[in-house]
């Protein structure tokens, strides 16, 4: 697993594109989200799901039971990619958790992130309301 997280010089993650291009199976991602080995694996899975959605993949919304496991995460990286998936799928059950994340981060802003996850979370909420 090789994810380079945002830092003071860059507000985005860098992934191993070779590894990413090899993982395009929803069942594999579902299994990985159920029992991840690390935060890196979860972030990579969510990144892949976002790319799959951009490419028109169908069926991602069926992974909500696995995705919802991360609704209460405090990780700004997971929050950002999860909000991206929710923004693109508009899973009705995900609206409440998005609002909860936004409130949680407003009360206790993530300090270690080199970016503001509330931008993506807020954007996802606006997409639901549009």
For 68-116, write each residue's pLDDT tens digit.
999 999 999 999 999 999 999 999 999 999 999 999 999 998 877 678 8
Q: Provide the domain limits for residue 78.
A: 3-129
pLDDT at 113: 67
Q: Domain tally for the chain?
A: 1
**DSSP structural state of residue 7:** B
Characterise 56 by phi-psi region: left (phi > 0), alpha (psi -120 to 50), beta (else).
Answer: left
Please state the rounded mean pLDDT for residues 11-34: 88
Alpha helices in the chain (DSSP H): 17-22, 26-34, 39-54, 64-67, 76-89, 95-107, 117-129
What pTM was estimated for this model as a whole?
0.92
pLDDT at 1: 56
């Amino acid at each position: 697993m090789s994810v380079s997280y945002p830092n003071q010089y860059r507000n985005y993650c860098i992934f191993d594109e070779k590894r990413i291009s090899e993982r395009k199976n929803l069942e594999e991602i579902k299994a990985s989200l159920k029992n991840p080995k690390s935060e890196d694996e979860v972030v990579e899975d969510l990144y892949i799901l976002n790319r799959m959605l951009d490419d028109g993949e169908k069926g991602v919304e069926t992974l909500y039971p696995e995705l919802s496991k991360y609704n209460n995460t405090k990780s700004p990286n997971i929050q950002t990619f999860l909000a991206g998936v929710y923004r693109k799928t508009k899973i009705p059950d995900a609206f409440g958790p998005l609002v909860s994340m936004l409130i949680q981060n407003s009360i206790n802003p993530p300090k270690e992130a080199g970016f503001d996850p509330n931008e993506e979370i807020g954007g996802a909420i606006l997409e639901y309301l549009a």
